[in-house]
Structure 1
Amino acid sequence: MWKIFITDLKNIGTNWVAMVLIGGLIILPSLYAWFNIAASWDPYGNTDQIPIGIVNEDEGATVRDQEIHAGDEVVKSLKENRSLDWKFVDREKAMDKLEYGDYFAVIVIPKNFSESLGTVISDQPEKADVEYYVNEKINAIAPKITEKGASAIVEQVTSNFISTVNEIIFEIFNDLGVEIEKNLPDIEKFEDYLFTLEKNLPEIHDKLNQTSEDANSAGDLINKAQDVLPRAKEVTSSGLKTIDNTTNFLNQAEDRLNKISPQIDKDLEKIQKMVSDTNSFVHEIDTSSIEFGEEKQISDSINSQIEKTLQSIGTIKGALKQVQEQNISNAPSNEQENQPDEGENEEENENETEKETENNIQVNPNQETINKAISELENMEQQLTNLQTQGSEIKSLAEKRKGQVEEAFSSIKERSETVNERVDAFVKEYKETIEPTVRNEVASAKQTLTEAREILVGIQSTIPEVESILNRTEGNLGDGKETLNKVLGEFPYINDKVNELANRIRNIQKDTDINEIIQLLQNNPEAEKGFFAEPVVLNQHKVFPIENYGTGMTPFYTVLSLWVGGLLLISLMSTEIHGPRAENYTGRQIYFGRLLTFLSIGLFQTLIVTLGDLYLLDVNIKEPLWFILFGILCSAVFVTMVYTVVSVFGDVGKAIAIIMLVLQIAGSGGTYPVVLLPKFFQVISPFLPFTYAVGIMREAVGGIVWEKVAHDVVFLVIFAILALILGGVLKNAINKMTHVLGEKARESGLFH
């Protein structure tokens, strides 16, 4: 085995053609890796070179007297966006460019774009559409990139729209919160009012029923009042007539009083003089010098004076009685005619009653004064009559005895003095009190009647208006009764709603606090707008950061180049020893001896490709040393497997190696995650060396997790061991069969 290996090395070193070919085999796999890595270095960093047509057909819209042009806003934002090569053209040109492949995609903003967005405030909002056209035959990846661009436009418009709408909403919320806070006392009062209303609903219902009954009674009263209005008119007219008559009577009484007043003054002076003379006469009589024969003369003199006085008193009393009769003669008829009829309205009754009372108050003092004066005159008459009687008794007393005469004269003197004093007092009272009082009362009565007449005239002029009011009130009362009945009919519903609302408020008070609601409503609209423009921020944390797409693809293309390197080796180099010296070695010796040669060339392939990744392409690899070592391991496994299948199966083995390459490119997860592959590739993926080789190389590029490395190394070693077992144990047996097949194939002249 070692002799074969050393011989192969000598032959390569001494044959410059072999040396050139081996050098090519060492370098060619690296080119495969480097070109692919460089080509895919940062494809997504150049998306600004992908032309995308933008067609803006939006006509704008008017929302609440404010014009909006959402399409123009989109165009404006795209002009500031350099993620893709936006081309702003019309629809016809854009579609032509798209069909010929000049544009990868076209995005059309329709005419009703703004109008559809504006429906957000309507009862039936409509979603705004954006038309997206893509030419997928140009490239397999480009449609995905352009689709992301279209999605980005939609997301941007959506974000701006949501943030703008939410800014307006939260401005309203903020204003609402301020207003609620401002009106919080009123809200709390309303809650109290509502609970009070709920508590008083039974009483309100009772009041409504009572009001309904009162309305019926009021209707009856209005009907009665309407019935008595004609009588009220008659009574008013009669009252005016009575007042006019009474005023005439008072004028006559005043005239009569003016006429008799001088006569009364004369009679009073006369009475006063006669009483004074009588009193003087009585006092002049000396009982000690009385001659009892003159008793008749004395008695006649006294009687004569008293008789004249009595006549004067009678004249005065008669005059006062006439005044009294004229002053009050009309009072009974006034009371009777001015008596308010039943059914008149309450205001008229009160006015009549007040007037009647006022008349009584003003007339009664007049009557009382005159009555008192008449009573005083009658008392004086009685005193004078008694004095006259005593004077008549003088004669009979004189006949009896002188002592009794003296006693009688003494009594006469006293009575005469009393009468004289009372007359003087009466005269004074008459002049100072009685006559002024009578005149004042007559004038007051006339004034009262004048005022009463004015009141009656006012009442008479008001009766038509009262009649109109009663008629109008009757109509309104009918409407009110109808409304009241309707309210009573709706009361159960109102009662249920008030109770329901009160219960809801109680539940809300249990679950929430209105102050918390106010705090939630009050906000910064600008801050809320920013929040809803990007409610979720993606904070990306790269556990094993990869610089770019090329770096991410480096493990796959490096592993692929190592397998391709093995294929190149078996394509140009023989796995067998030819010539006379072949007979000196066994099949196992040839297998292991030539394997060492292949492994040595594979080692140099690995060093070239890995070092080129590091220093030529400047791939950012976290663990460069382990990247090289893991590459050597992968190359040894791949070369062993490829060499073994070709050494054991010959040309069939070459086909097997190529088939394995095809399956591993698709099923190893080097480009797409295995979970995204069809089921077949997901099933075979664990049985492919690429799966573990790409995995272990990714650990070196991104950052090592040793448990994962150990797992991959174990499976790669298993693949190598299986290959060694196949080549070391079964090579001779299988070669005998493949030798026969090879000879047969060479007979056709098509194969070597």
Structure 2
Amino acid sequence: MTSLRMAFNELRRITSGKLPRLAVLALVLVPLLYASLYLYANKDPYSHLGQVPAALVVEDKGATKSDGSAFDAGGQVADELVSGAKFRWERVAADAAERGVRDGTYTFALTLPADFSKSLLSSADFTPRQGVITLTTNDANNYLGSTIANQVVAEVRRSVSARVGSAAADQLLLGFSTIRRETAEAADGATKLADGQRQALDGVTALADGLVPLSDGAGRLSSGLTQLRSGTAELPTQTRRLADGAKQVADGDEVVAATAADYAAKAQELTTKLDQSDGAVAVRLRELGFTDEQIQGVLGALGQARETVDGANAEVQRTSGQLRQLADGARQVSDGAALLAANTPALSEAVATLDDGAGSLSSGLVTARDGAVRLKDGQQQLLDGTTRLRDGLAEGVARIPSPDDPTRESTATTIGDPVAVHGVSQTAAGSYGGGLAPFFLGLATWIGAFVLFLLLKPLSRRALAARQMPVRIAVGGWLPGALLGMAQVVVMYSAVTLVVGIRPVHGVTTLAFLLLTSATFVAILHALNALLGAVGKFVGLVLLILQLVSAGGTFPWQTIPVPLYPLHYGLPMGYAVDGLRHLMYGGDLDGVGRDALILLCYLVGALALSTFAAYKQRVWTPSRLAPELVL
């Protein structure tokens, strides 16, 4: 009897009758029900989050920005959440939200406190504090709901942070523009200041240069005034003696002038009398009997004598006048000398004062000259510093950014949200259900193989009684399960791809890999049942549980506890899930060949184990005739 004949007989046995056929149909549909329904229910749960109730409490009272505009961050966040429709948001009071989360009315609650906007603006007043968003969850409602809520809050936090950061960066960049403008004005002022300092330096240089000869001249002036002071020290005494002598001369001249005037008066009186005596002489001579001719002769002689007298009188009068002028001049000289003597002490004191002032002036000019030199040096240093200030401000202006409005807004956005995630997906599952499909297809294939041996007999008793070759008996017992497993895979794969809508990238290869997986799992469970009987079914269930936790179907397998690592490497489902992922998502296919080879090794090993079981069971034992446990 060949293996195919044994398989055909077993299939005919389990399909002989209406109820057995229905049982076979049910066994074929078990993987379909498990995988297809689960994947259908979880194909895209994120698209239905809008049906999840969530409470939104907005207590934010808003704030006022530095420019006087209103800022309502809480209202903006609430509007974004409601318009986003990711959850079924309901704006309620705080107590209603807390009560709703507790009794399950809401999956979670999000609270924006009264000072939310003020907190976001607090950094502008250098009293920074964080804006707090309160998330209230209750894992008794749904654990994953709380997890998703945490992700939503994280996104809200990122969005608010980016908005506030962008606004702050925009103000900062505007501040840079203001600083640049004012720095440019300062640079212009520094340029003007440098020019003024240069002119001042030129003036100070000229002053210092001019003070040198002025100081020398003042020194010479001081020396001359000192000599003048020494020369005029006795001048008051001398002028006083001069005034006294001049007065004596004037007094003497006055006496001489008065005497001369007296003589002149007498001479004039004499002349007048002589003029009057001519008539009297003529009368007396007539009286004496002189003739007119004689009288004229006498008068002529007298006239000649008068000429001498008149000349002498005229000289006396002239000399008297000169003496009077001399006396008057002497009196003026005396008065001048007296005035000079009276003012000479003041002159002497003035010369002394002038000498002292000239000395002070000379010393001051020397000090001024030295100060001007130092001022020149300081002015040069000031000019150098002003020049460096001008150059530094000019260089600073060039370094201070002053972007235009589009650049400033773009820069502020980048500063507020500096990191953008550029997702490069080498492969994509397409949906949440697509991401779970490799695991649940492999799991459904194991469950399908497990339930087959609730109806199938692992080894043909007739072939054992006929002492057929063990390998032929093992293959003959495996083939019915393998054929039914293939039927399970085809039905399940068709429903998943056509009804659920999960389309593998490599469709035909995925189906072939699932067929290999089913054949391998059937072989393993067949070997367990053939070797251990009823205990083999329990071992198959235990292996199912172990593979659930170690295959890495949901989280990466590296996240399981380290003591469970050997289970991942030692059990076949992990390789089945890995190969299905690469085939369904379009990843690197090099690992698929390795996974298929390992599954094929499990298949061959399981058939070898079934052959050993067939070899052992050719001998009937009391335990086989009356087993202690029958399932």
Q: Does the 8 A contact of 1:55 with 1:90 survive in 2?
A: yes
Partner of 2:401: 519
The residue type equivalent to 1:138 in the other structure is: N
SS at match of 1:136: coil
Work out whether residues 464 and 617 of structure 2, in 8 Å CA contact, stay in contact via their aligned partners in 1: no
CA contact (8 A) 1:640 1:723 kept: yes
SS in 2 for 1:519: coil
1:2 pairs with one of 1, 4, 28 = 4
The equivalences for 1:478-493 within 5 A come to none
Give the whole-Å Cα distance in 2 for the aligned partners of 1:338 and 1:513. Answer: 67
Structure 2 equivalent of residue 167 of structure 1: 170
Map Cα deviations across residues 571-600 of structure 1 (whole Å, 9 max, x no partner).
111113346984453544322212122111
Distance 2:463 2:551 in 1: 44
Q: Does 1:658 align with 2:531?
A: no
1:49 aligns with 2:35: no
Matched, 1:25 2:27: yes
The alpha-carbon deviation at position 723 of structure 1 amounts to: 1.0
Calculate the TM-score normalised by the size of structure 2. 0.70
Query: For residues 603 and 538 of structure 2, what CA distance do their matches in structure 1 show?
Result: 19
Determine the structure 1 residue equivalent to 2:499.
Answer: 616
Q: Secondary structure of the residue that 2:575 maps to in structure 1?
A: helix
Structure 1 counterpart of 2:173, which letter?
Answer: F
| Aligned pairs (5 A) from 1:178-257 | 178-186=181-189
Alpha-carbon distance in structure 1 between the residues aligned to 2:8 and 2:313:
206
Alignment match of 1:570 (pick from 453, 471, 483): 453
Supply the distance in 1 between the matched residues of 2:620 and 2:344 (Cα, whole angstroms).
Answer: 160
Q: Confirm or deny that 1:336 pairs with 2:345.
A: yes
Q: Does 1:605 align with 2:484?
A: no
- Aligned counterpart in structure 1 of residue 42 of structure 2, from 5, 28, 40: 40
Q: CA offset at residue 534 of structure 1?
A: 2.3
Equivalent pair of 1:174/1:525 in contact (CA under 8 Å):
no
TM-superposed CA distance for 1:306, in Å, is 4.0
Which segment is superposed worse, 589-598 or 324-333?
324-333
SS at match of 1:53: strand
The answer as to 2:571 corresponding to 1:688 is yes
Given that 1:173 and 1:521 are in contact with CA atoms closer than 8 Å, whether structure 2 keeps it comes out as no
Give per-residue Cα distances to partners, 1:650-678, cap 9 Å, x unaligned: 11111111111111122101111112222
Letter in 2 for 1:518: I
User: What letter corresponds to residue 554 of structure 1 in structure 2?
Assistant: A
Residue 702 of structure 1, CA deviation: 0.9
Q: Which residue of 2 aligns with 1:141?
A: 144
Query: For residues 20 and 529 of structure 2, what CA distance do their matches in structure 1 show?
Result: 21
Q: Give 1:121 shift.
A: 3.1
The alpha-carbon deviation at position 563 of structure 1 amounts to: 1.1
- Contact 2:465-2:618 within 8 A present in 1 as well: no
> Structure 2 residue aligned with 1:634, among 517, 535, 538?
517
- The question of whether the paired residues in 2 share the 8 Å contact of 1:565 and 1:602 is answered with yes
Q: Quick one: distance in 2 between partners of 1:741 and 1:8? A: 20
Q: CA deviation at 1:616?
A: 2.4
* Alignment TM-score, normalising by the size of structure 1: 0.59
Cα distance in 2, alignment partners of residues 170 and 519 from structure 1: 8
Deviation per residue, 1:4-39 (Å, 9 max, x gap): 123335556765544333233222212211101101
Q: Structure 1 residues 86 and 102 mapped into 2: Cα distance closer, same or farther (>3 Å)?
A: same
Mind listing any 5+ residue stretches in structure 2 that lack a counterpart? 198-260, 269-303, 359-377
Residue 591 of structure 1: which of 454, 469, 474 is its match? 474
1:315: which partner in 2? 324
The 3-state SS of whatever aligns with 1:745 is coil
The residue type equivalent to 1:514 in the other structure is: G
Offset of 1:548 from its aligned partner? 1.0
The letter of the residue matching 1:183 is A
The question of whether the paired residues in 2 share the 8 Å contact of 1:59 and 1:69 is answered with yes
Is the Cα contact below 8 Å between 2:63 and 2:72 reproduced in 1?
A: yes
CA distance in 2, matches of 1:2, 1:530: 72
Aligned length: 501
**DSSP 3-state at the match of 1:37:** helix
Counterpart residue type for residue 172 of structure 1 = G
CA contact (8 A) 1:176 1:521 kept: no
2:180 corresponds to 1:177: yes
Which residue does 1:353 correspond to in 2? none
Q: Residue 532 of structure 1 aligns with which residue?
A: 415
Is 1:707 matched up with 2:590? Answer: yes
**Structure 1 residues 580, 544: closer, same or farther in 2, change over 3 A?**
closer
Identity level (%): 20
Shift of 1:724: 1.8
User: Given residue 158 of structure 2, which amino acid in structure 1 is its aligned partner?
Assistant: E
Tell me, in whole angstroms, the C-alpha distance in 1 between the residues paired with 2:189 and 2:620.
105
Tell me if 1:668 matches 2:559: no
**Shift in Å, 1:89:** 0.6
Task: Decide whether the 8 Å contact of 2:180 with 2:400 is kept in 1.
Answer: yes
Distance 2:18 2:352 in 1: 150
2:123 matches 1:120: yes
Spell out the pairing of 1:132-531 with structure 2 (5 A cutoff): 132-186=135-189, 305-326=314-335, 329-337=338-346, 514-519=396-401, 524-531=407-414
Instruction: Give the whole-Å Cα distance in 2 for the aligned partners of 1:701 and 1:671.
Output: 15
Structure 1 residue aligned with 2:609: 726
Please name the residue that 1:253 is paired with: none
CA contact (8 A) 1:637 1:717 kept: yes
Give the Cα–Cα distance (whole angstroms) in 1 for the partners of residues 606 and 448 of structure 2. Answer: 18
| 1:439-473 deviation per Cα after TM superposition (whole angstroms, max 9, x unaligned) | xxxxxxxxxxxxxxxxxxxxxxxxxxxxxxxxxxx
Output the amino acid matched with 1:711. R
Quick one: distance in 1 between partners of 2:521 and 2:611? 17
Residues 646 and 735 of structure 1: CA distance in aligned 2, closer, same or farther (over 3 Å): farther
Contact preservation (8 Å) 2:530, 2:613? no
2:97 aligns with one of 94, 104, 117: 94
Quick one: distance in 2 between partners of 1:343 and 1:303?
57
Separation (CA, whole Å) in 2 of partners of 1:118 and 1:554: 48
CA 1:168–1:734: 2 relative to 1, 3 Å: farther
In 1, Cα distance between the equivalents of 2:620 and 2:162?
71
Shift of 1:626: 0.8
CA distance in 2, matches of 1:181, 1:72: 41
**Structure 1 pair 191–25 and aligned structure 2 pair: CA distance change class (3 A):** farther
Give how far 1:697 is off. Answer: 1.2
Counterpart in 2 of 1:129?
Answer: 132
Counterpart code for 2:31? P
Instruction: Note the alpha carbon deviations across 1:362-397, whole angstroms, 9 max, x for none.
Output: xxxxxxxxxxxxxxxxxxxxxxxxxxxxxxxxxxxx
How many Å separate the matches in 1 of 2:340 and 2:575? 138
Report the AA paired with residue 27 of structure 1: L
Q: CA deviation at 1:318?
A: 2.8
